[in-house]
């Protein structure tokens, strides 16, 4: 009887198996084979035959994957992985995590080793045990109001560079404040670039020979042209950083100039909502609060003098005599961009004819409000569903004039065709009649804001509406930053009221503010300095 195909296949497999085993035996040193034979049971030993490692006799003869943290294919592999897995900060090796904080520390350690999968499992287990374990971890290793400790933890890898020796010459290892760091640049001078090749003369640096008086005058001109360029000069070198931070005359000119400073802030409407000149006013008006007749022509310079007096009072009382600090922190409208409010809310969608009420779809509604202020007291207001990427590049006066009335609807800039004209002003009464420019108006409240600043932070806006209506917005300026004392300033407008005014019946109706969200300032490079 001849052999069947199955018998032939088994014979070929057996032949291949023998050849493969012979190659493995030839590659294994005698010592390794002898060592591995110790793990082979006595019943498997055959006299006169070379011992075969146990893992080669199994049916699944393939190479097992090895993790990066393994110490090697030895009997102690599981213990090694166990030790590496549960080494947390401040914990003894070999001790398994018990509390949520232990699991969180082990997760941090695993993440530093690059094993993100194991780290994620530990993070999840830690948060299941305690949802605030991350705060406990921060309180343990990064307590508030604590002096900096040694930069490297005790269990840091030897390959991590130790930063303990990076101490300043003057501070003796203590962290310097920004003021101290700037002060340390006082004696430095401007140095040119080094020679490109050793032995050759250094390239010329003409600006290094300019006297400080001339350099300050150059910085002055730059600041009054574009304030952002003036601040960016501090990135050139340490000497420039010192001049930018301490040049009090330049910062005073910025604060007192109409280009960027506080004289450019309007405390009364300069135009009508249609951007037309204001109607002629009477020469005299009656002040009901004081009970006297006021000459309007004389009252305007008086109010300006009171505002200047209040500026100097705030400078000494609230900003420690620093014009730079005043410009940064005092409420002011920013013109180099747009204020954007993003509104998202849910509403119930339309249910099908055969659909139950509880199964009705939920729809997310998203729309945007845009405000752009101009130095002459006018502004543009837009309510639309188009995203900032579609609106901001076209939110200009030129495009408004082009598309007002529905002109050129085929252009991408037609998204601004529904823009409303408007006017704005800051404050209400502190800079006019009720303020005397005294220290009483500059007294500080509990939140660190003076009453004068609080009043000055109010912004009143009027825009044209449909038919006989005028829309009125009352906003208050705030600073939005993740860290108190750092980040941008005057970049947030919070709603106080929103209403419509009927010019025929002299009625006022308030809009609900359920879905109104704050405006956040977004700088736009193409707007320039916001002319």
| DSSP one-letter code for 516 | -
Position 10 scores a pLDDT of 73
Position 103 scores a pLDDT of 92
Rounded Cα distance between 521 and 488, Å, is 10
The strand pair at 284-287 and 492-502 is best described as: unpaired
Structure tokens at 115: 């094993």
| DSSP one-letter code for 30 | H
For residue 110, pLDDT beyond 60: yes
Identify the band that residue 396 occupies on the pLDDT scale cut at 50, 70 and 90: very high
Contact 106, 87 (CB under 8 A): yes
Position 356 scores a pLDDT of 59
Q: Which residue has the tokens 């202020």?
A: 373
Contact 331, 311 (CB under 8 A): no
Position 65 scores a pLDDT of 38
Position 189 scores a pLDDT of 86
Report the pLDDT averaged over residues 428-445.
45
For residue 91, pLDDT beyond 60: no
Burial class (CB in 10 A: 0-12, 13-18, 19+), 77: middle
Identify the band that residue 26 occupies on the pLDDT scale cut at 50, 70 and 90: confident
- DSSP class per residue in 55-115: HHHSS--SPPP--TT---SSTTHHHHHHHHHT--TT--TTPPP-SHHHHHHHHHHHHHHT-
The strand pair at 337-348 and 362-373 is best described as: antiparallel
Position 2 scores a pLDDT of 56
pLDDT tens digits, one per residue of 218-253: 999 999 888 888 999 999 889 899 989 998 999 999
pLDDT tens digits, one per residue of 480-492: 875 555 667 889 9
Identify the band that residue 285 occupies on the pLDDT scale cut at 50, 70 and 90: low
The C-alpha angle with vertex 515 and arms to 333 and 351, in degrees rounded to 5, equals: 150
| DSSP one-letter code for 175 | P
| DSSP one-letter code for 23 | H
Share of the chain above pLDDT 70, in %: 67
pLDDT, averaged across the chain: 75
Classify each residue of 50-65 as buried b or exposed e, where b means 16 or more C-beta atoms within 10 Å of its C-beta. Answer: ebbbeeeeeeeeeeee
| CA dist list (Å): 308 to 211, 296, 305, 334 | 33, 19, 5, 20
For residue 493, pLDDT beyond 60: yes
| DSSP one-letter code for 166 | -
Report the pLDDT averaged over residues 24-44.
50
Report the pLDDT averaged over residues 111-122.
81
Instruction: Spell out the residues 6+ positions from residue 407 whose beta carbon is closer than 8 angstroms to its own.
Output: 417
The backbone torsions φ and ψ at residue 51, rounded to the nearest 5 degrees and listed phi first, read: -60, 145
Instruction: Spell out the residues 6+ positions from residue 283 whose beta carbon is closer than 8 angstroms to its own.
Output: 295, 296, 297
End-to-end CA distance of the chain: 104
In 3D space, the residue among 270, 205, 260, 277 whose CA is nearest the CA of residue 236 turns out to be 205
Position 309 scores a pLDDT of 84
In 3D space, the residue among 204, 189, 203, 202 whose CA is nearest the CA of residue 237 turns out to be 189
| 46-60, 116-130, 203-217, 410-424, range with greatest mean pLDDT | 410-424
Q: Which residue has the tokens 């000494």?
A: 316
Write out the H or E segment, with its range, that includes residue 249. Answer: helix 248-256
Better-scored residue on pLDDT, 135 or 280: 135
Share of the chain above pLDDT 90, in %: 26
Identify the band that residue 372 occupies on the pLDDT scale cut at 50, 70 and 90: very high
Position 29 scores a pLDDT of 54
Position 462 scores a pLDDT of 94
Rounded Cα distance between 169 and 184, Å, is 11
Rounded Cα distance between 366 and 344, Å, is 5
Rounded Cα distance between 181 and 408, Å, is 56
pLDDT tens digits, one per residue of 164-200: 444 444 444 567 788 888 888 888 888 888 888 888 8
Rounded Cα distance between 376 and 372, Å, is 12
Cβ atoms < 10 Å from Cβ of 242: 19
Instruction: Spell out the residues 6+ positions from residue 40 whose beta carbon is closer than 8 angstroms to its own.
Output: 51, 52, 53, 54
| DSSP one-letter code for 289 | T
Report the pLDDT averaged over residues 332-343.
92
Tell me the residue ranges of DSSP E strands in 315-414.
337-348, 362-373, 378-384
pTM: 0.61
The strand pair at 378-384 and 284-287 is best described as: unpaired
Rounded Cα distance between 94 and 91, Å, is 9
In 3D space, the residue among 502, 496, 511, 500 whose CA is nearest the CA of residue 471 turns out to be 500
Position 174 scores a pLDDT of 65
For residue 61, pLDDT beyond 50: no
Better-scored residue on pLDDT, 192 or 34: 192
Q: Is the torsion defined by CA of 194, 199, 205, 209 positive or negative? A: positive
- Identify the bridge partners of residue 35 per DSSP, sorted by sequence position: none
């Amino acid at each position: 009887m001849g052999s069947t195909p199955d018998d032939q296949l088994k014979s070929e497999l057996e032949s291949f198996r023998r050849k493969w085993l012979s190659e493995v035996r030839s590659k294994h040193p005698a010592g390794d084979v002898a060592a591995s034979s110790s793990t082979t049971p006595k019943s498997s030993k055959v006299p006169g035959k070379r011992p075969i490692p146990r893992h080669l006799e199994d049916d699944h003869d393939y190479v097992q994957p090895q993790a990066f943290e393994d110490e090697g294919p030895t009997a102690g592999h599981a213990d090694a992985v166990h030790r590496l897995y549960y080494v947390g900060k401040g914990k003894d090796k070999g001790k398994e995590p018990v509390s949520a904080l232990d699991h969180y520390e082990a997760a941090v350690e695993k993440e530093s080793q690059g094993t993100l999968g194991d780290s994620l499992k530990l993070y999840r287990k830690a948060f299941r045990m305690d949802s605030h374990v991350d705060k406990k971890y921060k309180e343990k290793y990064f307590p508030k109001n604590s002096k900096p400790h040694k930069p490297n933890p005790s269990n840091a890898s030897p390959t991590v560079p130790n930063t303990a020796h990076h101490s300043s010459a003057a501070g003796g290892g203590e962290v310097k404040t920004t003021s101290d760091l700037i002060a340390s640049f006082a004696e430095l001078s401007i140095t040119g670039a080094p020679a490109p090749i050793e032995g050759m003369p250094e390239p010329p640096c003409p600006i290094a020979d300019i006297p400080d008086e001339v350099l300050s005058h150059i910085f002055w001109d730059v600041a009054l042209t574009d304030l952002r360029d003036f601040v960016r000069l501090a990135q050139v070198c340490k000497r420039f950083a010192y001049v930018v931070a301490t040049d009090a005359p330049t910062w005073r000119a910025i604060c007192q100039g109409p280009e960027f400073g506080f004289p450019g802030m309007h405390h009364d409407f300069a135009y009508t909502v249609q951007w037309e000149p204001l109607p002629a006013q009477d020469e005299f008006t009656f002040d009901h609060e004081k009970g006297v007749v006021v000459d309007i022509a004389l009252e305007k310079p008086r109010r300006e003098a009171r505002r200047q007096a209040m500026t100097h009072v705030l400078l000494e009382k609230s900003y420690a005599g620093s014009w730079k600090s005043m410009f940064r922190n005092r409420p002011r409208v920013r013109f180099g961009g747009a204020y954007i409010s993003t509104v998202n809310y849910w509403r119930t969608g339309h249910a099908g004819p055969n659909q139950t009420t509880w199964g009705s779809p939920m729809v997310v509604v998203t729309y945007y409000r845009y405000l752009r202020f101009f130095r002459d007291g006018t502004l543009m207001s837009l309510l639309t569903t188009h995203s900032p990427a579609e609106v901001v590049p076209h939110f200009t006066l030129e495009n408004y004039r082009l598309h007002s009335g529905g002109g050129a609807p085929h252009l991408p800039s037609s998204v601004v065709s529904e823009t409303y004209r408007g006017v704005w002003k800051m404050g209400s009464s502190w800079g006019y009649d009720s303020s005397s420019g005294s220290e009483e108006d500059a007294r500080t409240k509990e939140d660190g804001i003076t009453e004068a600043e609080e009043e000055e932070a109010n912004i009143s806006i009027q825009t044209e509406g449909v038919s006989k209506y005028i829309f009125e917005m009352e906003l208050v300026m705030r600073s939005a930053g993740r860290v108190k004392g750092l980040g941008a300033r005057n970049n947030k407008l919070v709603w106080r009221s929103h209403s419509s005014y009927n010019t025929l019946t002299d009625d006022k109706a308030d809009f609900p503010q359920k879905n109104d969200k704050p405006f956040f300032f977004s700088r736009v490079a193409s707007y320039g300095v916001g002319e």
